[in-house]
Amino acid sequence: MFEKKKFLLNCDVCDTRKIKEEDYSNFEQIMVNADVVLVNEHSKSVLNRLPIAMNHDKMIELSDQIEAVVKVVNGSYEITGNEANQEHTILVVNGSLKIDPGTAEVLQRYEQIIVNGSAEYPKSLNGFLSKMSVNGSAFAYPDDCILLKDEFTIDQYFPLRAKENGKYYAKTAVIIKDRNVDIAKLAGKKVRFITNKVILPECKIEESVSLFDEQTEMTVVPEGMELVYGDALLNEEMIRKEGDNLFVYGNLETDENADMDVLCEMLKKLVVKGKITLKKEQFEAFEKLDAEYDEIEVVRNSRVIKNMPKTRLDKNLFDNSPEGIKAENIAQLIIDEDVTPEMILEKLTLKNCARVNCTKEQESAVAAIAVNVAGIGEDSCGENMMGMGDIFGTLKDLAHTKMVNADSYIM
């Protein structure tokens, strides 16, 4: 049995404060990859004597008298006024953090807040957030606002429930889809919205102006058109449900089984504030519709190869794939030498592959069509050039390595 000579640790939070030198002195090499490393005077002294290399985003030094509690959240998290966190809590959020108004007392109990994502908080709490670091976007909203969903749709009941002189905040957009919403009632209550964007019917513009400030971007749905907010699938069911004059705020994909001639007969007008995606055989009929859109993508009925550790593409496969080949989520893709660069450019779609092994002549063609591909080249091309010596060396190295993967780890 191999004796472990190396120690590899991958974690979000590494707590070294109780480390014992004798527990790690037998390792020839120690590697720690962490977002946050906690140290004190004792652990700094021990770490300096060990053969250790640390990769971290943040190192926090705590006194020996502080008993810190580490809390790691993968996803969204909200700090509320009634949160019962302990003193000296270290919060790590891998996602989005929302801090509610009136949480100053709660925030004082945090030792550190690290956000790998986005953070939203009231402007009045700026002074309490000196111990917060955000690796992403941070936004302070007005304190006198009532928080709504990031994308808030005003329904028929909201004007009844809205507060007099109420000030509401929606991070992304306010949407008015229903033309029967009593906007005049909101204006009469002197309601205000703070948001980046408002999407509303043309008939509601005049009475809605007082609800938004002049910095709010306004998208107007033309009279007679129905708003479809968000990404959508175009088929007969959608047209029957939403109407034959559609204003889509999002991306629109056509149903691959739909008859585009039939859809075009059913539709009178189509406006898409986003990208339209449709099949190659649907494009000719779609052009007759004279639709308005920001972008269009025509996709082929490609042969799909995906979610494989390793696969090979040869000339025979290209010859028997008249609509092309779509390769996705493949660890190692090998392209045979007899596949020409012209065939690659014309027929291959490549996305999310770790490594593409190809000849030097194929390399520029592969690079031109590749999306999110880590490595392209001939250094590993072919069965006899797989770098087997390196692989065996790596396996041998792993056999001598103690590896730990964790959210948080106490050394």
Q: Write the pLDDT tens digit of every residue in 20-65.
A: 999 998 888 898 988 889 999 999 999 999 999 888 888 888 877 7
Q: Which residues pair with 7 in a beta bridge?
A: 30, 402
For residue 75, pLDDT beyond 70:
yes
Section 341-361 average pLDDT:
91
Distance between CA atoms of 208 and 145, rounded to whole angstroms? 18
Cα–Cα dist 286/133, whole Å: 49
Are the C-beta atoms of residues 133 and 113 closer than 8 Å to each other?
A: yes
* 137 pLDDT above the threshold of 90: no
Judge whether residue 268 has pLDDT over 90: yes
Give the 3-state secondary structure of residue 198: strand
Which two tokens mark 297? 């993508």
Extended strands (E) in 65-107: 69-74, 77-79, 89-94, 96-99
pLDDT value for 155: 94
Task: Band the pLDDT of 97: cuts 50, 70, 90.
Answer: very high
Q: Take residue 82 and report the two structure tokens written for it.
A: 């009634």
Taking residues 228-238, what's their average pLDDT?
94
Q: Token pair for residue 47?
A: 């770490």
- CA 330 distance to own-chain centroid: 21
Residue 363 near residue 341, CB atoms below 8 Å: no
How sure is the predictor about 386, in pLDDT bands with cuts at 50, 70 and 90?
A: very low
Phi, psi of 320, rounded to the nearest 5 degrees: -100, 20
Instruction: Please name the residues in contact with 389: beta carbons below 8 A apart, sequence gap of 6 or more.
Output: none
Beta strands at 217-221 and 245-249: parallel, antiparallel or unpaired = unpaired
Q: How confident is the model at residue 389 (pLDDT cuts 50, 70, 90)?
A: very low
Higher-confidence position of 86 and 269: 269
pLDDT at residue 244, as a whole number: 94
State the pTM of this model: 0.60
Residue from 238, 245, 288 nearest 270 by CA: 245
254 neighbors 277 (Cβ within 8 angstroms):
yes
Q: Mean pLDDT: which of 159-168, 285-294, 388-397 is highest?
A: 159-168
State the Cα–Cα distance between residues 347 and 326, nearest whole angstrom. Answer: 8
